[in-house]
Structure 1
């Protein structure tokens, strides 16, 4: 199984390396763009939830000052 996967990966890598550079760029952007946007959205949601845990409540001491 791993041998077949390694052969497939080698063929895909060879195909990509032999492409014209602008085609490589477009292909990489088409794949990495959505992946990076999704990762950024996920990280933003996680940070918001963690920050909400440490944020003082509406009745907290900070609002009475």
Structure 2
């Protein structure tokens, strides 16, 4: 299975490398922008939710502050 995947990736990489640069840019951005937005959304969601799971909220003062 991995041999087939690596062969496909090598073929795709060669195909992409032979394209005109603006076409390469558009194709890469069409994949990277949604992927990065999705990762940023998941990380933001985790940062908002994890403190509540461990009992820390934004309304509480940090320890040692008066």
With the shorter chain as reference, the TM-score category is: 0.7 to 0.9
Q: How many residues align?
A: 60
Unaligned runs of 5+ residues in structure 2 are none
| Per-residue deviation, 1:32 | 0.5
Asked which structure has the greater CA Rg, the reply is 1
What's the counterpart of residue 12 of structure 2? 12
What's the counterpart of residue 21 of structure 1? 21
| Per-residue deviation, 1:5 | 1.5
Q: For residues 7 and 58 of structure 2, what CA distance do their matches in structure 1 show?
A: 55
Unaligned runs of 5+ residues in structure 1 are none
Shift >6 Å, 4+ stretches: none
Larger proportion of helix? 1
Compute the TM-score of the two structures, normalised by the length of structure 2: 0.76
Q: What does 1:1-65 align with in structure 2 at a 5 Å threshold?
A: 1-52=1-52, 53-55=55-57
